[in-house]
C-alpha cells in the first residue's frame, strides 16, 4: 500500500492479545506515514471489559464481556472529546492511562502525533447527544485468554443449569490437560523463555 501510494496518512488501532508483535522489531518503518497503537505489548494479553455484572443490554445480562478494554477506551474517548482539537498524541496518552491491565504501545511514524484525531476518524466534533454524566467506569476486566471460562462461570452462576456446569467443568479439564502437556514438554526439553 505504501509503495503504491494507496493512502496519504493512516492511523491504525489494533486490539488483540500480543498485538505489539505485529509492529515490533521495526516492522512498521518510521517513514510510512502510518501510526499504530496496540492494546498490548508483544507478550501480553489484552483484556475484556464491561464484564459481568456490567454486561447488561436493555436490562438483560449477557454473561460475557461486551468489549475490550483498549478499544472501548479509545472509542469512548473519541465519543466524548472534540476530535478537531484532540491530537493523536493526546488520545494515545489518555487511552494508555485508562488501559490499566496491559501496556498500550505505539509504533510507526511519530510525525503524525500532533495531528487531530478528527482527520482520521472523520468526525471532528463531540458526538451529538453524548452524555458522559451517564458514563460508568467498568470495574471487572477479564484476561482475553480467560473470556470463555468467565462466560461459562457466569452462565452457570446465573442459570444453575447442569449443561452449563458440565461445559464449565469440561473447560477446566481441558485447560488442566493443556497445562500438564506444556509442563511435561518444558520438563523434558528444559525450555526457557
Where residue 33 sits, what CATH number does that domain have? 3.40.50.1460
If one counts the domains in the chain, the total is 1
pTM score > 0.85 for this model? no
The Cα 74–Cα 78 span in angstroms is 6
Q: What is the pLDDT of residue 192?
A: 62
Residue 95 inside a domain? The answer is yes
Segments of the chain scoring below 50 in pLDDT: none
Q: What is the pLDDT of residue 6?
A: 85
Residue 112 inside a domain? The answer is yes
Residue 22 inside a domain? The answer is yes
Residue 70 inside a domain? The answer is yes
Residue 79 inside a domain? The answer is yes
Taking alpha carbons only, the member of 17, 85, 66 closest to residue 46 is 17
| CB contact set of 74 (below 8 Å; sequence gap of 6+) | 13, 37, 91, 95
Residue 92 inside a domain? The answer is yes
Residue 180 inside a domain? The answer is no
The Cα 185–Cα 191 span in angstroms is 8
**Secondary structure tally for the chain: helices H, strands E:** 5, 8
Q: Which residues form the domain of 23?
A: 10-55+66-143
Take residue 139 and report the three cell numbers written for it.
470495574
Q: What is the pLDDT of residue 44?
A: 93
Residue 89 inside a domain? The answer is yes
The Cα 127–Cα 26 span in angstroms is 35
Amino acid at each position: 500500500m505504501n509503495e503504491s501510494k494507496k493512502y496519504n496518512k493512516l492511523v491504525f488501532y489494533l486490539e488483540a492479545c500480543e498485538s505489539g508483535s505485529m509492529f515490533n522489531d521495526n516492522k512498521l518503518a518510521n517513514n510510512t506515514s502510518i501510526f499504530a497503537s496496540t492494546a498490548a505489548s508483544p507478550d501480553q494479553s489484552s483484556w475484556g471489559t464491561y464484564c459481568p455484572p456490567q454486561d447488561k443490554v436493555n436490562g438483560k445480562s449477557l454473561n460475557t464481556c461486551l468489549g475490550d478494554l483498549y478499544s472501548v477506551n479509545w472509542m469512548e474517548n473519541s465519543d466524548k472529546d472534540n476530535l478537531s482539537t484532540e491530537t493523536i498524541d493526546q488520545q494515545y496518552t489518555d487511552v494508555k492511562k485508562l488501559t490499566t491491565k496491559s501496556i498500550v504501545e505505539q509504533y510507526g511514524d511519530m510525525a503524525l502525533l500532533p495531528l487531530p484525531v478528527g482527520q482520521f476518524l472523520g468526525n471532528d466534533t463531540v458526538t451529538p447527544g453524548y452524555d458522559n454524566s451517564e458514563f460508568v467506569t467498568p470495574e471487572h476486566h477479564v484476561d482475553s485468554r480467560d473470556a470463555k471460562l468467565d462466560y461459562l462461570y457466569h452462565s452457570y452462576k446465573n442459570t444453575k443449569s447442569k449443561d452449563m456446569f458440565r461445559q464449565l467443568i469440561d473447560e477446566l479439564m481441558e485447560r488442566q490437560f493443556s497445562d500438564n502437556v506444556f509442563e511435561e514438554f518444558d520438563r523434558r526439553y528444559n525450555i526457557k523463555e
